[in-house]
Amino acid sequence: GENVEQHPSTLSVQEGDSAVIKCTYSDSASNYFPWYKQELGKGPQLIIDIRSNVGEKKDQRIAVTLNKTAKHFSLHITETQPEDSAVYFCATHTGNQFYFGTGTSLTVIP
């Protein structure tokens, strides 16, 4: 089965700085890569996704890059704000299932 590794597990940044979270995966058949933000007591919320035929996608302060050859993808958050503080999960999709990383707890210090 798919193995998704996510780093770092915790990340603290000053407000206004950028944050980068990286994930690697093992199954070359994976073709869809969503990122989720989970706040305390809530379910994961989809924030951005990318498909395997695209190398980069951007939505305002959030961007995702994908390197299919190296089997890794990254989430980039620019101009971080305190409300960005949450746990972020990467995921992959292959064979009708989604596989999630172990999460990154992001703290944005005002």
Chain residues binding another protein by CB under 8 A are 4, 6, 31-32, 34, 36, 41-46, 49, 51, 89, 91, 93, 96-103
Query: Quick one: 84 or 88, whose CB is closer to another protein?
Result: 88
Query: Quick one: 41 or 110, whose CB is closer to another protein?
Result: 41
Residue 42, number of CB atoms within 10 A of its CB: 9
List the one residue out of 37, 92, 94 whose CA is nearest residue 66.
92
Query: Quick one: 40 or 70, whose CB is closer to another protein?
Result: 40
Smallest gap from residue 63 Cβ to another protein (A): 17
Whether 22 contacts 38, CB under 8 Å? no
Residue 9, number of CB atoms within 10 A of its CB: 12
